[in-house]
Amino acid sequence: MSVPPSAKLRLESAALISNWRALNDLSGDACAGAAVKADAYGLGARSVVEKLLQAGCREFYVANWREASELEDLISGAAQLSVLNGVRESDMPFALQSLAKPVLNSLEQVHRWAGTGRPCDIMINSGMNRLGVNPGDLSGQDLTQLDVDICMSHLACADEDVVQNPDQLAAFIVASDMVTAKRKSLANSAAIALGSAYHFDCTRPGLSLYGGIPRPELNDIIVQVATPQVEILQVRSLKAGDRVGYNAQYIADRDHDIAILAMGYADGYLRSFSGKGIFSVQDISLPVLGRVSMDLIAIDVTGAPQLREGDWVDCAYDLPEASKISGLSQYELITGLGQRFAREWY
């Protein structure tokens, strides 16, 4: 018997597809793929892959082989799946029979994969100093044993206007000419907005597919995909002076009603929303009062006196706005939404 959820994530298919199309258009001659690591930033990778395949997306990126193993059957033949964190020795048994390909991140991984006869991608370190082969280490390497599909790099600051962007671009252009690859790729969501010099053959948006806006150029083309919705467990009446929640961080300044919601920081709605977050019903704003608890939140329902136990309210979760309010990054806000939300696609 299934138990009805008390919190849901409302997910808009049309918004996801519209965001991918917008990023694909903005990528010019390049094709937009999709970063679906971390369960498609928490929204559910299998559903996201199915929908984006239908929209025409042909390149998907996960972080590791466990994630790849959960998506391979959807991808088979229809598209490509790349594993960004590379291939460890312990990944080899799985990787050698997988439909996914590793993104080789070091000379060790290059040697590990050489001679397998299987395709791969390669990551160049153009200045972020996270994963990737240093350009200086490429010269003198015999890469002819590799069947390289995408030669890629990753920008550290694409959401800012800093000289590191053109510097990394220049380093990538030089280094990628030393690798025989079918295609080149540099841009994440933010870098797509940096212009055609950054697009190469394929782009790799993640955040903006899911409603994140890392640069103002994307303001008018990216729309919200995910909205948390939560049930009211109890409505109560406060007298002026009554205290609410842990450490009494809200004290009623007048007599009014509040509602207690079935959601909390264990669901990824962190305490940085305490006294700041907003819920709503029919465009009526219902502010969070006091501390966010692990499983519960108190909201002011003065504006919506009709609300009762069992009614549902929406959480304001426009990512740029919620980021401003909470001080959390848009990435943290979307990937942090927990497993207690029933994910429902519309």
Using the rule CB under 6 A, give the single segment among 94-102, 203-211, 285-293, 301-309 that binds ligand PLP: 203-211
Q: Does 36 bind ligand PLP (CB under 6 A)?
A: no
Task: Please report how close the Cβ of residue 104 comes to ligand PLP at its closest, in angstroms.
Answer: 13
Residue 323 binding ligand PLP, by CB under 6 A: no
| Nearer residue to ligand PLP within complex by CB, 41 or 113 | 41
Any contact of residue 206 with ligand PLP (CB under 6 A)? yes
Instruction: Answer yes or no: are the C-beta atoms of 135 and 124 closer than 8 Å.
Output: yes
Q: Which is nearer to ligand PLP, 274 or 330 (CB)?
A: 330
Q: Does 35 bind ligand PLP (CB under 6 A)?
A: yes
Listed in sequence order, the residues at least 6 apart from 313 whose beta carbon sits closer than 8 Å to its beta carbon are 229, 230, 232, 259, 261, 279, 280, 281, 286, 299, 307
What Å distances lie between residue 41 and 66, 169, 212, 291, 331, CA to CA?
A: 15, 26, 11, 26, 8
For ligand PLP, the closer of residues 53 and 156 by Cβ is 156
Q: How many residues does the chain have?
A: 346
Stretch in the footprint of ligand PLP (CB under 6 A) among 188-196, 255-263, 305-313, 333-341: 188-196
Concerning whether 198 is annotated as a catalytic residue, the answer is: no
Q: Among residues 84, 169, 202, 315, which is the contact residue for ligand PLP, using CB under 6 A?
A: 84
DSSP type of residue 341: S
According to the binding rule CB under 6 A, does residue 205 interact with ligand PLP? yes
- Listed ranges 24-32, 110-118, 202-210, 321-329: which one lies at the site for ligand PLP (CB under 6 A): 202-210
CA-to-CA separations, 4 to 1, 8, 279, 295, in angstroms, rounded: 10, 10, 21, 16
168 is a site residue for ligand PLP (CB under 6 A): no
Residues binding ligand PLP: what is the number (CB under 6 A)? 11
Residue 8 a catalytic site member: no
| Cβ 113 vs Cβ 100: under 8 Å | no
- Is 215 one of the binding residues for ligand PLP (CB under 6 A)? no
Residue the block writes with tokens 């080789």: 104
204 touches ligand PLP (CB under 6 A): yes
Among positions 47, 188, 229, 274, the unique one binding ligand PLP when judged by CB under 6 A: 188
Residue numbers 134-163 binding ligand PLP by CB under 6 A: 154
Check binding of 193 to ligand PLP (CB under 6 A): no
Stretch that binds ligand PLP, among 24-32, 185-193, 220-228, 232-240 (CB under 6 A): 185-193
Q: Are 86 and 104 in contact (CB under 8 A)?
A: yes
Do 171 and 135 touch, CB atoms closer than 8 A? yes
Nearer to ligand PLP, 37 or 184 (CB): 37
Q: Where are the alpha helices (DSSP H) in the chain?
A: 13-26, 37-41, 45-55, 65-69, 72-75, 92-95, 107-113, 164-176, 189-192, 319-326, 330-335
Q: What is the pattern of x (binds ligand PLP, CB under 6 A) and - over residues 255-294?
A: ----------------------------------------
| Closest to 187 in 3D by CA, of 148, 210, 214, 163 | 214
One-letter amino acid for residue 20 of the chain: W
Min dist. Cβ of residue 63 to ligand PLP (A): 7
Environment class of 306 (CB within 10 Å of its CB; exposed 0-12, middle 13-18, buried 19+): exposed
Q: Which of 37, 51, 101, 184 is catalytic?
A: 37
Write out the H or E segment, with its range, that includes residue 286: strand 284-289
For the chain, the straight-line distance linking the first and the last C-alpha, in angstroms and rounded, comes to 24
Query: Is 189 an interacting residue with respect to ligand PLP (CB under 6 A)?
Result: yes
Q: Tell me the catalytic residues.
A: 37, 246
Provide the binding-site residues for ligand PLP, judged by CB under 6 A: 35, 37, 84, 154, 188-190, 204-207
